[in-house]
Amino acid sequence: MLTAIYTTILYQPLYNILIFLYNIIPGQDVGIAIIALTVLIKLLLYPLSRKSIKSQKDLQELQPKIDQLKEQYKDDREKMAGEMMKLYKESKVSPFSSCLPLLIQLPFFIAVYQVFRSGLTSESFDLLYSFVANPNQINHIFLGLIDLSRPNVVLALLAGAGQFFQTKMYTRRKPEQKSTGSKDENMMAMMNKQMLYVMPIFTVVIGFSLPGGLTLYWLVTTLLMIFQQYFIFKKKTDAT
């Protein structure tokens, strides 16, 4: 039952849009179709991703005050929790607001993964809508060079580089502090630095095993996120 609902609501529409784009793009380049589909998905999910980015930035800017509360009430965890909830409420920021939009987007990523993993074969053409032409076969070569049905090292490395740059945009430089709470802040800074490198490495490793079509989707999604973060951060900076 759930599989049928998932197929009808997510997988089949995304698959049909991809094939439709593939049919109308000159030269029938599946890579261009994937890029176009990625842009459409990002536009559809823009309100959610915008909210997630803004929430992450707000939490980041609130971190110094959170650190102060942790130091001030380090011996009274109940009081600390109450003061932190008060701070979140006064700042109109939820510690979970950046996670929910990402969780909502997860089914889309799973559906896209399934489309690129098993949907680009003639066996899946029976899922095409009546108004979407059957291409009989899919040419997996992107720009005449890259086979998107197989893992591609170059795309994996580019996706990792994009992930590194995107993560780096969230890092912020803080002046060195010599207070008693500086140890905790240094620990947080170290964890942020580790994430800066762990996520790109994870992206590259996963990209080595994924079909090139999905890695291309991941790369384009990351690039669009970079542009989106840039404009949201810039708009927020200009407003302050």
Residue-wise pLDDT for 16-39, tens only, equals: 999 999 999 988 888 999 999 989
pLDDT recorded at residue 170: 64
Q: How far apart are CA 30 and CA 217, in angstroms?
A: 11
pLDDT recorded at residue 173: 42
Q: How far apart are CA 125 and CA 122, in angstroms?
A: 5
Q: How far apart are CA 12 and CA 9, in angstroms?
A: 7
CB 127 within 8 A of CB 15: yes
Give the sign of the dihedral formed by CA 158, CA 163, CA 166, CA 167: negative
Confidence of residue 153 (pLDDT cuts 50, 70, 90): very high
Reference 96, options 156, 51, 150; nearest CA is 51
| For the ranges 94-98, 118-122, 182-186, 214-218, the one whose mean pLDDT is highest | 214-218
Share of the chain above pLDDT 90, in %: 12
Higher pLDDT, 205 or 100: 205
Q: For the chain, how many helices (H) and strands (E)? A: 9, 2
Average pLDDT, the chain: 78
